[in-house]
A = this chain, B = another copy of it.
Amino acid sequence: MQRNDMRPTEAELEILQVLWEKGPSPVRTVNDELSRKREIGYTTTLKLMQIMAEKGLLTRLKEGRGHVYSCAIQQNDTQQQMLDRLLNGVFGGSATKLVMQALGNSKTSEKELNEIKKYIENLEGGKS
């Protein structure tokens, strides 16, 4: 399994997002995607991705004229890790507090709220 203490930076996260969504892609694709949100030079994206490959956040394969990059870390693992960080760093470790705040100030639909309720009941079942 991948090293677990990786803390992607803000910029790295943007790139991971694209790759998680679009799957393995060349720099060009990632850069195009990032450019839709903000101005960013091609070589900036390239450099970031090269560094991420060195760090082990991405892997890459030669493909035609350039490379195709893939995420080396799971989206789930990253989510969990960053969640833990927020939980301990800002919510004093209370998942309850975090969950309530997340649901309170967000436009979560009734349907989704119901799903969550079911999910909780499932958890409760598993514990008893």
Q: Which residues of A contact B (CB under 8 A)?
A: 10, 13, 17, 76, 78-80, 82-84, 86-87, 89-92, 95-106, 108, 110, 112-117, 119-121, 123-124, 127-128
Contacts and interface: CB of A to CB of B under 8 A. Distances in A.
A110 to B, nearest CB: 6
A123 B100 CA distance: 10
A110 B127 contact: yes
B96 A115 contact: yes
B96 A83 contact: no
A87 B108 CA distance: 12
A17 B91 CA distance: 9
Contacts of A103: 95, 99, 119-120, 123
B96 A79 contact: no
B89 A116 contact: no
